[in-house]
Amino acid sequence: MHTSKNLLIVHHTQSGDTKKMTDAIIRGSEHKNLNIRSLSALKANSNDLLWSDGVLFGTPENFGYMSGAMKFFFDEIYYECLEKVSGKPYSVYIKAGNDGNGAKNSIEKIVSGLGLKKIQEPIIISGVLCESALIECEELGKLMAIGLTESIF
Ligand SMILES: Cc1cc2nc3c(=O)[nH]c(=O)nc-3n(C[C@H](O)[C@H](O)[C@H](O)COP(=O)(O)O)c2cc1C
């Protein structure tokens, strides 16, 4: 007997690559027992995070950090979600020109403060977004879907 679970995907894109990664993640995570809410980081709020059983964050690296839109999301939700989202599984996907570590570190610092539980190291795609990168994103979606619906996380 499976009860349905809720996946939140919070994302931002400037020139479209992170959106393509988001679309691949959604393709991979589609599952009959999973409700998927995919929202721009400028629109998602604390209720969305509280609703979720698991969450994925997708951002480009801008100026050695997560995008301003993603930072806006964390600024908005932080105190409302603190101590209410501890243990929720999460992962991150990043599109960068270089190594993406600035975006990775900045997100990990905040989500570790929230007590989220990492299910997989961030996917960091640097340079051209190729088919294998999108397959990697699909796989992350699939992992999250199976982990949530089978109550593995
Ligand atoms: C304002 C701005 C700042 C950027 N800063 C960085 C950076 O610090 N490090 C990096 O690796 N790439 C940087 N980039 C490159 C973007 O991360 C890269 O183009 C990425 O693919 C954009 O993703 P998107 O198509 O989803 O917007 C920057 C791009 C912009 C527009």
Interatomic CA distance for residues 118 and 75, integer angstroms: 20
Instruction: Tell me the two tokens of residue 53.
Output: 């059983």
Ligand 1 atom, smallest distance to 19 CA: 26
pLDDT band at 2 (very low <50, low <70, confident <90, very high): low
Task: Summarize pLDDT for 57-113 with one digit per residue, the tens.
Answer: 999 999 999 999 999 999 999 999 999 999 999 999 999 999 999 999 999 999 999
Take atom 2 of ligand 1 and give the residue whose Cα is closest.
Answer: 62
Walk me through the domains of the chain, giving residue ranges and CATH numbers.
Answer: 5-149 (3.40.50.360)
- Write out residues with Cβ below 6 Å of ligand 1: 13-18, 60-64, 95-98, 100
Pairing of strands 89-96, 123-126: parallel
Ligand 1 atom, smallest distance to 64 CA: 8
pLDDT band at 3 (very low <50, low <70, confident <90, very high): confident
pTM for the model stands at: 0.98
Distance 59 CA to ligand 1 centre (A): 9
* Residue from 38, 81, 76 nearest 56 by CA: 38
Distance 49 CA to ligand 1 centre (A): 26
* Residue from 76, 93, 84 nearest 42 by CA: 76
